[in-house]
Structure 1
Amino acid sequence: MSTGYLFLLLLPLVSAQTYHWGPCPSPKVQPNFNFQQYLGRWYEIEKLPVHTEKGKCIEANYGMRKDGTIQVLKSRFYKDKVRWAEGTAVIPDAREAAKLAISFSYFTPYSPYWVLTTDYTSLSVVYSCEDYFRLFHVDYAWIFGRSRFLPPDTVRYAKNLLASEGIDLFKMRPTDQMGCKDN
């Protein structure tokens, strides 16, 4: 099967996402990451498109489970109701604790979920990438806040950080957090 034909088959899966030729990049992550400080609720401020994350009022809540894995509860308001997804995150290598891996199904492999920077109290910038046979990759990026809205300078700082790591932000869009209720 030619790579062109393979790409045409996969194109509908990634058309909304941000894809590029070649393997995934490897941006720098938060040094000395402390996951205990990261726990709790984060509100999605902006993101590169993710086909499973449509809607508004998107947030993620991180908590520790007794077995040492991390529970990830994501919620969003979509089609007139709150929708929940529960995932599991792990830290594959404690020496690089900011490089988490996350899965929202027993049937899917863990995907990278890298914290590029956080101050733990207001801002988090996260990056992920899916590599397809090292021929092309799909970028995902999120800007999170501890509150539903961040100052424009903070969002600009986060976007500059992503851009400095070579991440294309052309499709990055704000998440609607207007009129949301805390659960």
Structure 2
Amino acid sequence: MSNFFIYIAVTIGVAGLCNGGCPEVKLKENFSPDKYLGNWYEIQSQPSIFQTIKSCMSSSYKMVGDEIQVSSKGLDSSGSPATNTATLSIDPKNPAHMTTDFVPGISPPYDIVDTDYDTFSCIHSCVSIMGMKTEFVFIYSRNRTLNPESVKHCRSIFESYGIDTSGLVDVVQTNCHDHSDL
């Protein structure tokens, strides 16, 4: 069975596919990948079996050729250090739309809905196949904390497109160590 079909089967069972297509979301206008590079911390996300890092997640974004390499580190569900690396392929027609290899065998989107580059980033990802969709949203910060106004801002944007944010949970970013040894 191909990785794609394994992904769909697991997603149906775990993430709970919903009927319908992906919403058409407006992406960050005039997005600058260069300004987006650097460190980001995951503040809120929807739980996913595809994400092995469960707390203290920090990611470093750096340009490698014409793609962005994302190196993430943090702690897994048992509190042990965990890392992963992924690549974001930038759409030359709209750089706020990227595809990723986070899930082997498919290229889910990584869409920057909004960011101010210095404080917050609102990320949307949705895959729709045969009238079924799986959708994830993420809120990132340049620091391990994010002011409630920025969190509310991202949630409001998602909700304006009919995206359910009730599944978003805080990602633990306390009692984190640098993990520079990972």
TM-score when normalising by structure 2: 0.86
1:4 match: none
Residues of 2 paired with 1:18 and 1:25: CA distance? 17
Deviations 1:124-145 (A, max 9, x none): 0000012222x21011100000
The equivalences for 1:97-108 within 5 A come to 97-104=95-102, 107-108=104-105
Find out whether 1:34 has 2:32 as its counterpart: yes
| Contact 2:66 2:90 (8 Å CA) reproduced | no
Count residues with an aligned counterpart.
171
| Contact 2:18 2:132 (8 Å CA) reproduced | yes
2:86 match: 87
Unaligned runs of 5+ in 2: 1-7
- Sequence identity of aligned pairs in percent? 26
2:173 match: 177
1:146 match: 142
Unaligned runs of 5+ in 1: 1-8
The equivalences for 1:19-168 within 5 A come to 19-54=17-52, 55-65=54-64, 67-78=65-76, 79-92=78-91, 94-104=92-102, 107-133=104-130, 135-168=131-164
How much is the aligned-residue C-alpha RMSD, in angstroms? 1.9
| Contact 1:71 1:88 (8 Å CA) reproduced | yes
TM-score when normalising by structure 1: 0.86
- The 1:69/1:83 distance shift into structure 2, 3 A limit, reads same
How far is 1:18 from its partner?
Answer: 5.6
Residues of 2 paired with 1:180 and 1:71: CA distance? 23
| Contact 1:18 1:49 (8 Å CA) reproduced | no
| Contact 1:59 1:76 (8 Å CA) reproduced | yes
User: AA paired with 2:122?
Assistant: V
How far is 1:123 from its partner?
Answer: 0.3
Residues of 1 paired with 2:16 and 2:111: CA distance? 17
